[in-house]
A and B are shown apart, each in its own frame.
Chain A
């Protein structure tokens, strides 16, 4: 018998089917904030639901001994996206929305597959992307804090004041809605280990983080902003058409959203600048 749980991130529901009730219970615990119906329209065409069938296997599917930390490969062949890492094999049809994942019975593999699918769907729509950044809502606006590992994403999330609502400390979900951009909460947690809230708000600013002796905000010129944003976008596919769409989306984002470089001391006072 097949069981189902639907995980909705960024307004895009993915129905996950599996014969193991135990595995889905584990997913329900992990994605608890993201199991509700979305109130915001999906970037996918109406009526095309996304579905992943999970086949659990005892050991990693690759037969060459690679593990979960090995390089991810994403390719498009004969109408399907193929995703392969040491701990999973997945195949997804972007037209029907259906896919199959063969993986060991832990959540990290399906977590990665969902990140890839969301990144592909957003790139194809030309209206958003996943960004390596912490994000939080304050005063009804979302603020994003981007940077490579060690730049301070988790630190600034940890320092957030009580009136800020955490969307993520690791991967932000950026979507264009009407004439502006919104940031959605994601369950994709970093060192904080806490999933974000399933809410969204218009993006007030994107800050590129660096730690320093004092707090300082500097405007980033558009060319540098595009380069810095692209550097932190999650994108896995070696596909020229999608890369072109992603580039256009990032340029549009940079033209519409204020971008700054935020040098900060890792103390709570930095949030006095985020208003």
Chain B
């Protein structure tokens, strides 16, 4: 289980993925094996903000909490779970340090 109080996490988009916004959903394809993912609205927001230098918690507090009916801790926990899930497929990368 992820520790929501742990070290800062930074997320960046994986390499070899193609992404397009379509009908309010972000479509992402791994160009290595053509696996296709479709992200819902909140997941799309997180994907678009994944610049490798903004802490995930800051992304959640700035982009998710003000726009969706969710408290900060729940939103952060959900965002971290999503990031870990996407990282398993190489769609996102999670780091403890900001990208250089």
Binding site for B on A (CB under 8 A): 221-223, 226-227, 230, 240-241, 243-244, 247-248, 251, 254-255
Contacts and interface: CB of A to CB of B under 8 A. Distances in A.
A230 B20 CA distance: 14
7 contacts: A222-B22, A223-B27, A226-B22, A240-B16, A243-B29, A243-B34, A247-B18
- Is chain A's binding surface mostly helix, strand, loop or mixed? helix
B23 A222 contact: yes
Contacts of B22: 222-223, 226, 251, 254-255
B38 interface: yes
Contact of A243 (B20, B31, B38): B31
Contacts, number: 42
Nearest to A241: B31
Nearest to B32: A240
A106 B22 CA distance: 44
Contact of A248 (B18, B23, B25): B18
A223 B21 CA distance: 9
Nearest to B17: A244
B20 A251 contact: yes
Interface residues of B, number: 13
Given A226-B36, A227-B36, A247 B31 contact: yes
Interface of B: 16, 18, 20, 22-23, 25, 27, 29, 31-32, 34, 36, 38
Nearest to B29: A247
Nearest to A235: B34
A123 to B, nearest CB: 12
Contacts of B31: 240-241, 243-244, 247
B18 A223 contact: no
Given A243-B18, A251-B22, A254-B22, 9 more contacts: A221-B23, A222-B25, A223-B25, A226-B22, A230-B34, A243-B34, A244-B29, A248-B20, A251-B20
B26 to A, nearest CB: 9
Contact of B18 (A222, A227, A244, A255): A244
Contacts of B18: 243-244, 247-248
Contacts of B38: 223, 226-227
B36 A230 contact: yes
Contacts of A226: 22, 27, 36, 38
